[in-house]
Amino acid sequence: MAGQVVRIVAASVSIANRAGKIIRDVMSKGELGIVEKSKNDLQTEADRSAQRCIVASLHAQFPKVAIFGEEQLDPHEKVNPEWIETSLDPDVLKHKSKCSDDIKNAKDEDIVVWVDPLDGTAEYTQGLLDHVTVLIGVAVKGKAVGGVIYQPYFNYEAGSGAKLGRTIWGIVGIGAFGFTQAVPPEDQNIITTTRSHSNRMVIDSVEACEPSEVMKVGGAGHKVLLLLEGRVHAYVFASPGCKKWDTCAPEAVLHAAGGKLTDILGDDIPYHQTVPTRNMTGVLATLCCDHKWYCDRIPAATKETLRG
């Protein structure tokens, strides 16, 4: 029998696909229902509906597992029964024998699921659809170990009739799947960072890493996909802007692929259910490059400010 983590990831692959269809349907209808939660922080009907789908579907199968979603919604609100997804992806389940004992034996009380139903909401409203992802991350005893990154608009530039959507998933110790891993150009140092939440510390930290090019994009999930596909060398964000639901799934997939995601100080990000949701000390991620090299180049003043 598959352990609980493998079953949750297998369920999350199916659920993320269902949530992705909901996101596309909202866009097709043209009724985004935009709400500004705070400055530079939007919520749409797609965020709300996708989260209802994801959380309700996970609760139906794993009622004792803690689940945290980005959007603050009415827990008593009825969910469209057509949104409840209960299937388990067979491609995930076939890897169950490769799972490490600590992950295989994880109990419900050890597990926390972090959900971002629509990462890259601003980009979604602006038509930058390749930036948009659905993120479902699984943590065991505070460590990100499993994740699903679903791109609802992958292949959207191929024209009408093209099949949309791509699922990337990973479990630490098993591997990462759904993409073609590549190595970034050796003679360059391309860094990705935020396109909408920049400040002086973010700019100074990126410049300190001596980039040959800076790629400013939306969404933590999208930035980690750029790493996985060899389009950038590092993801540098020296600011307390990201939340646990932004980084849990990308960290797990990146780690499963052999990469690393930490805070800007080089310390692990904890994902226990009692931790603050905001990642106060930023994000630093690499795959094929020396993580410590980038960490060492972050200005000391920036690190001190983020430490508080």
Among residues 47, 110, 116, 263, the one annotated as catalytic is 47
* Type and span of the H or E element at 103: helix 101-104
Instruction: Please name which of 120, 177, 104, 123 lies closest in space to residue 147, comparing C-alpha atoms.
Output: 177
Burial label, 186 (beta-carbon count in 10 A; 0-12, 13-18, 19+): exposed
Where are the extended beta strands (E) located within 178-259? 190-194, 213-217, 234-237
47: annotated active-site residue: yes
121: annotated active-site residue: yes
Among residues 44, 121, 192, 262, the one annotated as catalytic is 121
Put residue 45 in one of left, alpha, beta given phi > 0 → left and psi -120 to 50 → alpha.
alpha
Whose structure tokens read 């400010």?
305
SS3 readout for 258-296: CCEEECCCCCCCCCCCCCCCECCCCEEEECCCCHHHHHH
Q: How many CA atoms lie within 13 A of 113 on its CB side?
A: 31
Whose structure tokens read 């909202």?
26
Contact 64, 109 (CB under 8 A): yes
* Residues linked to residue 190 through DSSP beta bridges, in sequence order: 213
Contact 229, 206 (CB under 8 A): no
The catalytic residues are 47, 121
